[in-house]
């Protein structure tokens, strides 16, 4: 399959349609996220949706790209403000949990896409971006090992465990009636758990 190349700039009409897709996916699920249902939700014709997005596959791929770009904008600047590998991981955990609490519709929409969407013509951007995130985490962990910040361990497995733990935290946060306090709890537990798993047991997170 060929790679899908998302468009660099979206018009206001295209952003409105993509935000409608996110809302429909989050509230109604993948099965009811059709061009017809989306048109009804937005009060526009199906022809107008197809004018901007040639197929449902293109629309969903652009939606994935939009959600990931939104998440990167929310997280990246703070993560890379320091060269300290542990601080990068701690900030990644913190900002991820905060994002789940503040952007629950985007996360629910992405979960629906991941669980149900298999492109016919192109590779799913959800997989592409997910794989890149794991590679970035592996790089941070490897740099931390080289700098003596982390003990020796398999960075690929560690990155996957962090991603899976954050996925679990995301489920708790999305299901909570008080997402922000739940996000704070998940952050504290994950930070402590991975600190003690990866760094010296003689230190504590509070000593950093």
Specify if 54 maps to a domain.
Answer: yes
Beta bridge pairs of residue 2: 122
- Please report, for residues 66, 101, 145, 206, the alpha-carbon distance to residue 13 in angstroms, rounded to integers and kept in the order given: 14, 27, 47, 47
Specify if 111 maps to a domain.
Answer: yes
Specify if 6 maps to a domain.
Answer: no
Mean pLDDT value of segment 102-115:
94
**pLDDT > 90: what percent of the chain?**
82
CA separation for the pair 193, 208 (Å, rounded)? 15
Give the total number of structural domains in the chain: 1
Specify if 34 maps to a domain.
Answer: yes
Specify if 5 maps to a domain.
Answer: no
Residues 6+ apart with CB under 8 A from 122: 1, 2, 3, 4, 57, 61
Q: Say what the pLDDT of residue 200 is.
A: 57
Specify if 168 maps to a domain.
Answer: yes
Specify if 3 maps to a domain.
Answer: no
Domain that holds residue 69: 12-207
pLDDT digits (tens, 9 = 90+) for 60-103: 999 999 999 998 888 876 777 788 999 999 999 999 999 999 99
Residue 179 sits in a domain of what CATH number?
1.10.357.10
pLDDT digits (tens, 9 = 90+) for 155-206: 999 999 999 999 999 999 999 999 999 999 999 999 999 999 998 544 444 5
């Amino acid at each position: 399959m060929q790679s899908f190349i998302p468009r660099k700039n979206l018009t206001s009409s295209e952003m409105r349609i993509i935000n409608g897709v996110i809302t429909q996916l989050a509230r109604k699920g993948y099965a009811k996220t059709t061009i017809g249902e989306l048109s009804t939700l937005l009060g526009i014709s199906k022809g107008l949706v197809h004018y901007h997005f040639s197929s449902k596959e293109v629309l969903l791929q652009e939606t994935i790209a939009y959600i990931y770009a939104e998440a990167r904008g929310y997280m990246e600047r703070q993560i890379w403000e320091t060269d300290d590998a542990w601080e990068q991981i701690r900030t990644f955990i913190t900002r991820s949990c905060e994002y789940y609490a503040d952007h629950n519709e985007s996360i629910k929409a992405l979960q629906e896409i991941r669980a149900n969407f298999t492109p016919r013509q192109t590779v799913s951007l959800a997989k592409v971006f997910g794989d890149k995130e794991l590679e970035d985490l592996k790089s941070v962990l490897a740099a931390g090992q080289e700098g003596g910040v982390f003990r020796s361990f398999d960075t690929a497995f560690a990155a996957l465990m962090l991603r899976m733990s954050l996925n679990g935290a995301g489920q708790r946060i999305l299901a909570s009636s008080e997402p922000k306090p739940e996000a704070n709890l998940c952050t504290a537990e994950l930070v402590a758990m991975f600190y003690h798993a990866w760094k010296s047991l003689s230190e504590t997170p509070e000593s950093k």
